[in-house]
Amino acid sequence: MDSSEGAVGSILEWEGVLMENFYQLILNGVLLGGLYATIAMGLSTILGIVKVINLAHGDLMILGSYLSFVFMHWIGVNPFWTFFLVIPAMFFIGFFIQSLILNRVVGKGMEPSLILTFGLSIIIQNSLLLFFTPDSRSLMTPLSVKTIPITEFLNIPLLYLVNFFVALGAIFILHLIFQKTYLGRAIRAASDDEIAAKLMGINTKRIYAFAMGIAMMTAGVAGVLVGMAFLFYPHTGPQYLIIAFGVMVIGGLGSMKGTFIGGLILALSQLIGAQLLGIGNQLLCGYIVLLIVLAIRPQGVFGEG
Amino acid sequence: MENIVLRVKNIDVYYKGLQALWNVSLELKEGKIVSIIGSNGSGKSTLLNAISGLLPLTCGTIELFGERIDGLAPHEIVSRGISLVPEGRRVFPRLTTYENLFIGSYPLKSRSTKNKLIDRLYEVFPILKERQNQKARFLSGGEQQILAIARALMSNPTLILCDEISLGLAPLIIKEIYFQLRRINQEGNSIVLVEQDIKRSLKMSSQAYILLGGRVVLEGDPTHFTEDQVKKAYFGI
């Protein structure tokens, strides 16, 4: 009698563990989704405004990680403080990439800018390789291993939580910049109708440079966050570019809300897929969901018709 | 002596690899309305786009108050006081009415001037005030045209170029728009009017140019034109 009771009890307990395991999965997915959204934000912004697919987006993001790495060791601070240096640095990098390189091919179709950004991607990867060697790096913080226990089996990884809120904050600030500031309105006007914007006295090329600067600021944020959560190498960029593409396609172009939801969907489908089908199928599951979204709603969840 | 606001001298312009304007010259005196008429493809819009700096000249000069403006970028030309109401309105569809107007004042620096201008335009065009928080794509065609004109006025221009502003609008709205345009003119703005509606535009203007195949075929005071002259110039027969 005793033994059977014990068995029932342990089965119930085991179900509880399974449920909590499931909650943990959802929680991790949501938190990771915020990070994915931050990674995709800059790519989506630039495609929406300048009509350029920035194939170097992932590499520029990793450049942000390395910048943080350099500042961290140079000044000897927690990677969080490097935000204050990485974000402005990335703004200038973006501004000059657009004004010195990409503005030359704006309005000349997709191909020239694709080739340019592809070249940029290769240059950045190999420069990083030259300066930093192929060794893996990470931005260690005391947060990396801390968790907030909620129940016996359910924990919130603190770093992921911080990442999530920084990501939310970045999305919110980006939204404010575009909706409320004069620059943001000019950027939206130029993306609506470039010729009309010129006729209003807007120097559209300068505006594009600002837009790229802002997009790279978000890439810098993403770079630091990614660097704190994962290892990175000079060649990690394209991996994140693909994630950014997935988020952008799922969420729909030109919508902050879409980018955020797209990040959540991709991260959740990857993590749930990994749980159900094994860790090796994590990426596959992400792409299957991507294909399903493409089949049902090609413009993305929040995309405009 | 009246000041010459705009002087276009012997310009040639290519559009998409084909020559669209041949040796076109034009003059506009301060405070006047000059109209440019011609059939489709006669080069009217090309001429306005060339003046705005959207298309480069291959030959000739354009002067504003005696200063050359050809070769400048469109945004520099706007800040010197030329504003174009483009063909097909081209309001910013995803911006609200208010934001459209606000962007129109881009060359102006002072925020209070901008707000003053917007308030004045709301008085002139009350419909814009009603629609101020609506996205421009949800406005009717007439409202969009009014918005396009108001937006062009937001840069405080001395010269306004209007490209077929009556296209596709109801007669009542056209009447209203032209009434306002005359008021704008009386306040001292010079206007270049490109129209399909020959009668209306000839009646309003002190000087008219008829284009055919990219060349000026008839110019002068429209009250001196005979109907035969206009027909011949317009149709080329």
Residues A173-224: tens digit of each pLDDT? 999 999 999 999 999 999 999 999 999 999 999 999 999 999 999 999 999 9
- By DSSP bridging, strand B57-64 and strand B67-68 are antiparallel
The stretch A114-135 carries a mean pLDDT of 95
Which SS3 state, helix, strand or coil, does residue B194 take? strand
Cβ(A54)–Cβ(A105) under 8 Å?
no
What are the pLDDT digits (tens) for B146-205? 999 999 999 999 999 999 998 888 888 899 889 989 999 999 899 999 988 888 888 889
What per-residue confidence (pLDDT) applies to A8? 61
Of residues B111, B193, B192, B103, the one with CA closest to residue B154: B103
In this complex, the residue of A189, A193, A198 whose CB is nearest that of residue B74 is A198
For testing contact with chain A, the best of B100, B106, B113, B115 (most A CBs within 10 A): B106
- Whether residue B103 and residue A189 make contact (CB cut-off 8 A), yes or no, is yes
Q: How many Cα atoms within 13 Å fall on the side-chain side of residue A221?
A: 26
In this complex, the residue of B54, B75, B93 whose CB is nearest that of residue A202 is B75
- By DSSP bridging, strand B33-37 and strand B215-220 are unpaired
- Binned at pLDDT 50, 70 and 90, residue A22 comes out as confident
Q: Does B91 touch chain A (CB under 8 A)?
A: yes
In this complex, the residue of A185, A198, A201 whose CB is nearest that of residue B155 is A201
The stretch B54-83 carries a mean pLDDT of 94
The stretch A151-155 carries a mean pLDDT of 79
Which SS3 state, helix, strand or coil, does residue A89 take? helix
Inform me whether the pLDDT recorded for A1 exceeds 50.
no
Strands (E), chain A: 147-149, 155-157
- Return the percentage of chain B with pLDDT > 70, whole number: 99
Of residues A62, A66, A63, A46, the one with CA closest to residue A54: A46
For testing contact with chain A, the best of B49, B52, B103, B138 (most A CBs within 10 A): B103
Question: Which residues in B lie closer than 8 A to residue A256 (C-beta atoms)?
Answer: none
CB atoms near residue B14 (< 10 Å): 16
What per-residue confidence (pLDDT) applies to A159? 87
- Whether residue B106 and residue A201 make contact (CB cut-off 8 A), yes or no, is yes
- Whether residue B102 and residue A182 make contact (CB cut-off 8 A), yes or no, is yes
Residue A166 tokens read as: 């920084």
What per-residue confidence (pLDDT) applies to A305? 54
Q: What is the fold of B4-235?
A: Rossmann fold (3.40.50)
- By DSSP bridging, strand B33-37 and strand B207-212 are parallel
Inform me whether the pLDDT recorded for B140 exceeds 50.
yes
Q: What is d(CA A258, CA B23) in angstroms, rounded to the nearest whole number?
A: 52
Cβ(B6)–Cβ(B159) under 8 Å?
yes
The stretch A148-168 carries a mean pLDDT of 85
Residue A3, exposed/middle/buried by CB under 10 A (0-12, 13-18, 19+)? exposed
What are the pLDDT digits (tens) for A281-294? 888 899 999 999 98
- Phi/psi of residue B222, nearest 5 degrees: -60, -25
Which SS3 state, helix, strand or coil, does residue B173 take? helix
Question: Which residues in A lie closer than 8 A to residue B160 (C-beta atoms)?
Answer: none
- Binned at pLDDT 50, 70 and 90, residue A9 comes out as low
Q: Which residues of chain A approach chain B closer than 8 Å at the C-beta?
A: 182, 185-186, 188-189, 192-193, 195-204
In this complex, the residue of A186, A195, A203 whose CB is nearest that of residue B103 is A186
What per-residue confidence (pLDDT) applies to B63? 95
- Binned at pLDDT 50, 70 and 90, residue A11 comes out as low
Inform me whether the pLDDT recorded for A5 exceeds 70.
no
- Binned at pLDDT 50, 70 and 90, residue B234 comes out as confident
In this complex, the residue of B92, B102, B104 whose CB is nearest that of residue A193 is B92
Q: Does B114 touch chain A (CB under 8 A)?
A: no
What per-residue confidence (pLDDT) applies to A62? 97
DSSP for A158-201, written as a single string? HHHHHHHHHHHHHHHHHHHHHHHSHHHHHHHHHHH-HHHHHHTT
Inform me whether the pLDDT recorded for A7 exceeds 90.
no
A254: nearest CA partner in chain B: B94
Question: Which residues in B lie closer than 8 A to residue A185 (C-beta atoms)?
Answer: 95, 99, 102-103
- Binned at pLDDT 50, 70 and 90, residue B122 comes out as very high
Helices A2-49 + A57-71 axis angle, to 10: 110
CA A220 from chain centre, in angstroms, equals 10
Cβ(A150)–Cβ(A255) under 8 Å?
no
A204: nearest CA partner in chain B: B75
Highest mean pLDDT among A66-70, A152-156, A248-252, A285-289 belongs to A66-70
Q: How many residues does chain A have?
A: 305
In this complex, the residue of B75, B94, B99 whose CB is nearest that of residue A198 is B75
DSSP state of B133: T
Inform me whether the pLDDT recorded for B40 exceeds 60.
yes
- Phi/psi of residue B77, nearest 5 degrees: -65, -40
Residue A252 tokens read as: 């729909």
Place of tokens 């396009």: B148
Question: Which residues in A lie closer than 8 A to residue B94 (C-beta atoms)?
Answer: 188, 192
What per-residue confidence (pLDDT) applies to B111? 85
What are the pLDDT digits (tens) for A46-100? 998 888 999 999 999 999 999 999 999 999 888 889 999 999 999 999 999 999 9
- Return the percentage of chain A with pLDDT > 90, whole number: 65
- Whether residue B75 and residue A195 make contact (CB cut-off 8 A), yes or no, is no
The stretch B227-232 carries a mean pLDDT of 88
Question: Which residues in B lie closer than 8 A to residue A195 (C-beta atoms)?
Answer: 54, 86, 90
Q: What is d(CA A25, CA A156) in angstroms, rounded to the nearest whole number?
A: 11
Q: What is d(CA B62, CA B51) in angstroms, rounded to the nearest whole number?
A: 7
Pairs of CB atoms within 8 A across A/B: 64
Q: Does B106 touch chain A (CB under 8 A)?
A: yes
- Whether residue B91 and residue A196 make contact (CB cut-off 8 A), yes or no, is yes
Of residues A263, A206, A265, the one with CA closest to residue A240: A263
Q: What is d(CA A305, CA A46) in angstroms, rounded to the nearest whole number?
A: 19
What per-residue confidence (pLDDT) applies to B109? 83
Residue A235, exposed/middle/buried by CB under 10 A (0-12, 13-18, 19+)? middle
Q: What is d(CA B86, CA B148) in angstroms, rounded to the nearest whole number?
A: 8
Of residues A161, A142, A145, A168, the one with CA closest to residue A221: A168
Sign of dihedral through CA atoms B225, B231, B235, B237?
negative
- Whether residue A197 and residue B94 make contact (CB cut-off 8 A), yes or no, is no
In this complex, the residue of B74, B93, B99 whose CB is nearest that of residue A199 is B74
Q: What is d(CA A40, CA A61) in angstroms, rounded to the nearest whole number?
A: 10
